[in-house]
Amino acid sequence: MYSRGNMMGSMGHGDGYEIGSKRQRGMDEDPYYGPPSGYRSSYGYGGGMGFGGQSRAFPVVRLRGLPFDCREMDVYEFFTGLDIVDILLVHKRGRFSGEAYVVFGAPLHVDFALQRNRQNMGRRYIEVFRCKKQEYYQAIAMEVNDSRNSYERDVPFTRVTPVPPKSVPEKDLEHTEVLRLRGLPFSVSKREIINFFNESFLKDENIHIVTHSDGRATGEAFVEFSSPEESKAAMKKDKMTLGSRYVELFPSSRDEATSAAARSRLTR
């Protein structure tokens, strides 16, 4: 899920925007983005009409036909130049459905977004539709329920190399000396990752930050520890924050790191 941080200009990425579960904080700050009146969701917040009780068009669109390896960053790039508040990728039975909801900073941006209907993302053309605020919040509730159910079915809620869900502690997880990190700030440095683990034995050469082919960070990295026992102990940092982002940790392997390098590029 994507939520807007401090956008650095309308056309630039900057390093202020962030992807993560920050939705409720944004809703509390601005009632315009709150759920419809009388709405109750798994997040537990109700709704209102917006500023001063005045109702106005909610700036959200629905996308269909997205690639199944699509990430929030791909959607952000598809709408380059528009002010994005939130991106919700829709999953069904733990797998990405090819649909998404995008909330913008103003209704005018919806009109610009609709002009990109049937434009391509990779080899696929993307359909862009108007939708209602109620549909968006229903999708949030369904996403929460789907993620819970996917854990119960033992289906990993991730589109990268599947690993057993960490929410099932009794499941025997195989640890190597490698961990994969997801949700990092896009401006993160190797030194910041080392400080995150607070381990003096980690060196720059143990940190591998994944980037796109143009050098932009993807928000993922691989960290090599000296033993499987040390990587397992480092899992205590799972879902702790680095800056304003919470970071997810996954048991990984050298093979997965090599595969990531083949798909994109690893900074050394």
Residue in this structure with the two tokens 């925007």, named with its chain if needed? 17
Q: Do domains 2-152 and 178-267 have the same CATH topology?
A: yes
The domain locations on the chain are: 2-152, 178-267
Q: How many CA atoms lie within 13 A of 114 on its CB side?
A: 11
**What average pLDDT does this structure show over 175-185?**
88
pTM of the model: 0.45
Give whole-number Cα distances, 100 to 63, 70, 246, in Å. 5, 10, 22
Dump pLDDT digits (tens) for 81-97.
Answer: 999 988 999 988 888 89
Distance CA 141, CA 40 (A): 9
| Single-letter amino acid code for the residue at 120 | N
Cβ-count burial 116-138 (b if 16+ within 10 Å, e if not): beeeebeeeebebeebebeebbb
Residues near 250 by Cβ (< 8 Å), separated by ≥ 6?
158, 163, 166, 179, 180, 181, 182
| The predicted structure's pLDDT at residue 55 | 52
Could you tell me the fold of the domain covering 2-152?
Answer: Alpha-Beta Plaits (3.30.70)
Q: For 80-89, 115-124, 135-144, 208-217, which range has the lowest pLDDT when averaged over its residues?
A: 208-217
Q: What pLDDT, on the 0 to 100 scale, is given for residue 34?
A: 61
The class of domain 178-267 in CATH terms is alpha beta
- Whether 13 has a pLDDT exceeding 90, the answer reads no
Tracing tokens 């919700």 back to the chain, one arrives at 88
Rounded-to-integer distance, Cα 84 and Cα 82, Å: 6
